[in-house]
């Protein structure tokens, strides 16, 4: 998912605004505190080294994907959840602690980050959360969304079948491109 979004941000000339964190590195949020250090260090290194406006972090916790967006210049962390759940406390503390260290080191900012929980598109079942995270990431990148999260993500309706089909098709095409870049998997409307 992150590789696909990185490619979209480059293709749309938005790579100066957005960075995408690896969900595997963020899996430390659900581990004991002694194991969280590596994950926090990963976040802090990316925030320091990449110097972007927003860092998009797809996060899997207890079988459910959520999208965490860290915006250092605004001192804001956004959680987009297709089930409209708050982020679990352990994961929230994980992101907050990593972000706080960066904010203090970079901006001298001691203020606690503001967490925002917009009511994004809501999944109708228990197994489409990854697609909803992908859709939110696509919307953020293609529309250059870096602020006004509560206004932008204020539509609790479910994705349509057409939107889900397009997401699945885009993801499958990207996945196939990663493993076999010589083959053109794009099918034109004339071929269908």
Sheet holding 18-20, edge to edge: 18-20, 54-61, 64-71, 76-80, 114-116
* Tokens linked to 122: 């809501």
Closest by CA to 47, choosing from 29, 30, 68, 28, is: 68
Q: Which domain holds residue 59?
A: 2-158
CATH of the domain at 130: 3.40.395.10
* Residue 186: per-residue pLDDT: 56
Residue 169 located in a structural domain? no
Residue 6 located in a structural domain? yes
Residue 143 located in a structural domain? yes
Q: Virtual CA dihedral for 79, 83, 86, 88, nearest 10 degrees?
A: -100
Q: Virtual CA dihedral for 95, 116, 52, 30, nearest 10 degrees?
A: 20
Identify the segments of the chain with pLDDT beneath 70: 1-4, 29-30, 180-192
* Tokens linked to 111: 């203020």
Residue 87 located in a structural domain? yes
Residue 35 located in a structural domain? yes
Question: b/e for 105-117, b at 16 or more Cβ within 10 A?
Answer: eeeeeeeebeebb
* Residue 147: per-residue pLDDT: 95
Residue 188 located in a structural domain? no
Kindly report the length of the chain: 192
Closest by CA to 136, choosing from 124, 148, 150, 153, is: 153
Contact 135, 56 (CB under 8 A): no
* Residue 5: per-residue pLDDT: 76
Residue 175 located in a structural domain? no
- Give me the DSSP letters along 152-164: HSB--PPPPHHHH
Strands 76-80 and 114-116: parallel
Count of domains for the chain: 1
Residue 14 located in a structural domain? yes
Can you give the pTM of this predicted structure?
Answer: 0.86
**Side-chain half-sphere exposure of 33, counting CA atoms within 13 A:** 4
Beta strands in the chain (DSSP E): 18-20, 54-61, 64-71, 76-80, 114-116
Residue 66 bridge partners (DSSP): 59
Contact 23, 55 (CB under 8 A): no
């Amino acid at each position: 998912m992150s590789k696909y979004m990185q490619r979209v941000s480059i293709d749309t000339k938005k790579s100066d605004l957005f960075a995408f964190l690896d969900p595997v590195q963020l899996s430390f949020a659900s581990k004991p505190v002694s194991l969280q250090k590596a994950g926090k260090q990963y976040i802090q290194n990316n925030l320091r080294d990449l110097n972007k406006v927003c860092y998009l972090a797809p996060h899997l916790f207890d079988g459910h994907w959520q999208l965490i967006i860290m915006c250092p210049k605004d001192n804001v962390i956004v959680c987009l959840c297709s089930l409209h759940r708050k982020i679990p406390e352990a994961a929230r503390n994980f992101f907050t602690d990593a972000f706080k260290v960066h904010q203090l080191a970079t901006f001298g900012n001691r203020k606690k980050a503001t967490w925002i929980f917009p009511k994004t598109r809501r999944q109708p079942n228990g197994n489409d959360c990854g697609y909803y995270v992908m859709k939110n990431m696509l919307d953020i990148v293609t529309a250059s969304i870096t602020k006004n999260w509560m206004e932008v993500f204020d539509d609790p309706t479910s994705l349509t079948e057409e939107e889900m089909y397009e997401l699945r098709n885009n993801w499958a095409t990207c996945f196939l491109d990663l493993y076999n870049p010589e083959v053109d998997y794009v099918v034109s409307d004339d071929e269908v």
